Amino acid sequence: MDAKKNKCLIAYFSREGNNYVGGSIVNLPVGNTEVAAEMIERLTGGDLFKIDPVKKYSADYNTCTEEVQQELRENARPELTAYPASINSYDTIILGYPNYWGTMPMPVWTFLEKYDFSGKTILPFCTHEGSGMGRSESDIKKLCPGANVKKGQAIRGGSVKNAGKDIERWLKG
């Protein structure tokens, strides 16, 4: 499937600030998933939409991981600052997120439950530091039963700036 031939929405969640990269906590001015989403925008000409929760996660990495784990345990649906008015004009949704505890951050769940993805193609991608896609692809299939969920692309966060060729191959695949 060539994402350039279809009108696509690149919806992504990303977190700048203190992040775990290559075994260390580093301060990222732009989150790894946002770096990848912007590459995808350049490759596809798609529309970017940042999935942004009203309540921000802590800037401290360890506190953030505790907040994320608690949201997952509670099956929370954090409110977002904005939503696309409609996704009807999009054939393809390219969905990006970091792998948090084996799946997507809960704001991504909020986004997916807001719309009917029936008949649409979802191309998931995630950034990670060794855990790959986790169970996120199967979670997307459960949340969007009428969508055609394609095989995702896992991008190591510490190598995201060099992932352009891999992303391009994945989009063409």
3-state secondary structure of 10: strand
pLDDT above 80 for 132: yes
CA–CA distance, 55 with 73 (Å, rounded to integer): 17
pLDDT above 80 for 5: no
Residue type, 26: V
What domains does the chain contain, in order, with CATH numbers?
Answer: 3-172 (3.40.50.360)
Give 172's pLDDT tier (boundaries 50, 70, 90): very high
Q: Would you say 133 and 126 are in contact if contact means Cβ atoms under 8 Å apart?
A: yes
* pLDDT for the residue numbered 6: 60
Give 3's pLDDT tier (boundaries 50, 70, 90): very low
* pLDDT for the residue numbered 4: 46
The residue-averaged pLDDT of 144-173 equals 96
3-state secondary structure of 86: coil
Q: Would you say 57 and 67 are in contact if contact means Cβ atoms under 8 Å apart?
A: yes
The residue-averaged pLDDT of 121-126 equals 98
Give 120's pLDDT tier (boundaries 50, 70, 90): very high
In the chain, the percentage of residues whose pLDDT exceeds 70 is 97
Q: Would you say 80 and 49 are in contact if contact means Cβ atoms under 8 Å apart?
A: no
Whole-number average pLDDT of the chain: 94
- pLDDT for 33-88, tens place per residue? 999 999 999 999 999 999 999 999 998 999 999 999 999 999 999 999 999 999 99
CA–CA distance, 166 with 140 (Å, rounded to integer): 22
* pLDDT for the residue numbered 2: 47
Alpha-carbon dihedral angle through residues 6, 10, 11, 17, given to the nearest 10 degrees: 170
User: What residues are paired with 121 via a beta bridge?
Assistant: 92, 148
- pLDDT for 90-119, tens place per residue? 999 999 999 999 999 999 999 999 999 999
CA–CA distance, 55 with 59 (Å, rounded to integer): 12
- Return the structure tokens found at 109: 């769940």
